[in-house]
Amino acid sequence: MLSPAVTGESQLVSLDSTNQPGGSGSPLFGLNQQALAARMAAIGEPGWRGKQLTEAIYRQRLTDLNEITTLPKPLRRRIAAEGWQVGRPSIVQVFQSVDGTERYLVKAGEQTVETVWMPEGDDGEAGDGSDSTDSRVPQVSTLRPGITIKLGAPDPSHLGTRDSDESQPGTGHHSTGAVGGNRFRATICVSSQVGCAVNCQFCLTAKLGLQRNLTAGEIAGQVISVFDRHAVEVGRDRVNLVFMGMGEPFLNFANFMAAVRLLVEEVGLSPRRMTVSTSGIVPGIERFAQESPEVRPKLAISLNAPNDRIREEIMPINRKWPIEAVMDAVRQVQLRPRERITFEYVLLAGITDQPEHAREVARLVRRTGLPAKVNLIAWNPGPGIAYTMPQPEAVEKFRATLAGEGIPTYLRKPRGRDIYAACGQLKRTVEG
Ligand code: SAH
Ligand code: SF4
């Protein structure tokens, strides 16, 4: 059954309205420089105060108005008295995996959403494997599974993975507590909605249904809060962002793109280090195709099946937008040099993991004419979902068959399964 949110255009439009903070008591975090300048202008301050606020909130990552010493003290007092607040979403709980992955509950209003930190990435979304195959990368220290730790400064022993032989002197105060100013390699998986309306049969997030869209500040805030926790230095550390957490980013398009713009324009991240994954929301892909390559992340499509018949069964949304319609939309995206479209493919035992499926996927991908690669994901189990994990031999055979057909194929490492942080497992599982 299609869930109501994906059966009608009107529903789609209502899901997509921007949800930006407005009044004077609302958070500053989430507003871009222009909007911050307008806030300042409205209280009779010069527009360049907007730039000072931008620097403080997004570059210095300050969370308290009082710390923004570039603003004169009386002004700080005045805006605080008027109810202004930075209002950045904060991490309220941390679950740590034996493999170094951390899953966070990040406060968004009255609810929490999930964000995942994966030192070294998952072999999938550097995309071409360049992120994590470097044997020089030291392993993170051993962690006990499922520990919930208190808030506060992270313990440097599990900050993440740093490239020890590419050390550069750490400069800013954010490098304190990190190991000798070396570079990080990590991937952050970001949520775009609380829950999801799309109802893919194999996904735990689907069980929540859609609760609400996140604002741009709540989406970008997940990234900045995790940057803070791991003392990430923008421009030095190699952190990839994947918009593959809870929710369907293209059913919250305006807020999702506003968050990306904040991360690119105000925080200083490269959109080439970001990948957004969609289940195939055609109007969303078409809007995405209109975005400038200066801010547009890379695109991943959750293909997950070799044909419409199987896809329809596991992803009811396929009845609204079948594979060919999705591919037509994807072809409208103007790719940058060397950029490829990622097709994600979840292997479900007996349903999508047979060698004939791999050959069919190869034909399908070739037919699209797109420069593409396939990221295989062995299905991660979840309570109440009646699928079976594929056998390792089936996964390997599938990979080899697809690669043998000449399709660049990567196998995504399951990260943080023990703490419910792996793909499709995000459901605010507080037990860890
Ligand atoms: N809603 C978006 C992005 C979040 S899901 C989308 O569907 O693309 C991110 C990826 O996890 C998708 O490719 C999805 O197919 C995959 N996924 C969902 N549940 C999974 C599970 N239980 N095991 C493995 N992968 C899963
Ligand atoms: Fe939503 Fe993606 Fe899960 Fe499908 S796989 S239900 S689109 S989060």
Strands annotated E in 40-182: 91-96, 102-108, 111-119, 147-149, 162-163
The answer for residues whose C-beta is within 8 angstroms of residue 46's C-beta and 6 or more apart is: 40
Q: Are residues 117 and 55 in the same domain?
A: no
> Domain tally for the chain?
2
Q: Are residues 56 and 146 in the same domain?
A: no
Span 279-325, pLDDT tens digits: 999 999 999 999 999 999 999 999 999 999 999 999 999 999 999 99
| Ligand 2, residues at Cβ distance < 6 Å | 196, 198-200, 203, 205-206, 247-248, 279, 302, 424
Whether 12 is in a domain gets the answer no
CA of 59 to the centre of ligand 1 (A): 31
Q: Are residues 135 and 264 in the same domain?
A: yes
Q: Are residues 73 and 205 in the same domain?
A: no
Q: Is the CB of 346 under 6 A from ligand 1?
A: yes
Q: Are residues 266 and 219 in the same domain?
A: yes
- Which ligand lies nearest to the CA atom of residue 326 in the structure? 1
Q: What is the pLDDT of residue 424?
A: 67
Of the candidates 71, 397, 81, 125, the one whose C-alpha atom is nearest the C-alpha of residue 272 is 125
Contact, 152 vs 178, CB < 8 A? no
Of the candidates 236, 232, 266, 222, the one whose C-alpha atom is nearest the C-alpha of residue 58 is 266
73: CATH: 1.10.150.530
Select from 49, 81, 113 the last residue of a domain.
81
Ligand 2 atom closest to the Cα of residue 196 is: 1
- Indicate the pTM of the whole model: 0.85
Q: Are residues 71 and 143 in the same domain?
A: no
- d(CA 223, CA 239) in angstroms, rounded, equals 10
Span 130-150, pLDDT tens digits: 333 333 222 222 223 333 333
Q: Which residues are catalytic?
A: 114, 423
304: CATH: 3.20.20.70
Q: Are residues 307 and 396 in the same domain?
A: yes
Q: Is the CB of 120 under 6 A from ligand 1?
A: no
Nearest Cα residue to atom 3 of ligand 1:
244
Contact, 117 vs 99, CB < 8 A? no
Whether 1 is in a domain gets the answer no
Q: Are residues 42 and 108 in the same domain?
A: no
Span 382-427, pLDDT tens digits: 888 999 999 999 999 999 999 999 999 999 877 777 777 776 666 6
Ligand 1 atom closest to the Cα of residue 280 is: 8
Q: Is the CB of 242 under 6 A from ligand 1?
A: no
The whole domain housing 40 covers 33-81
Q: Is the CB of 45 under 6 A from ligand 1?
A: no
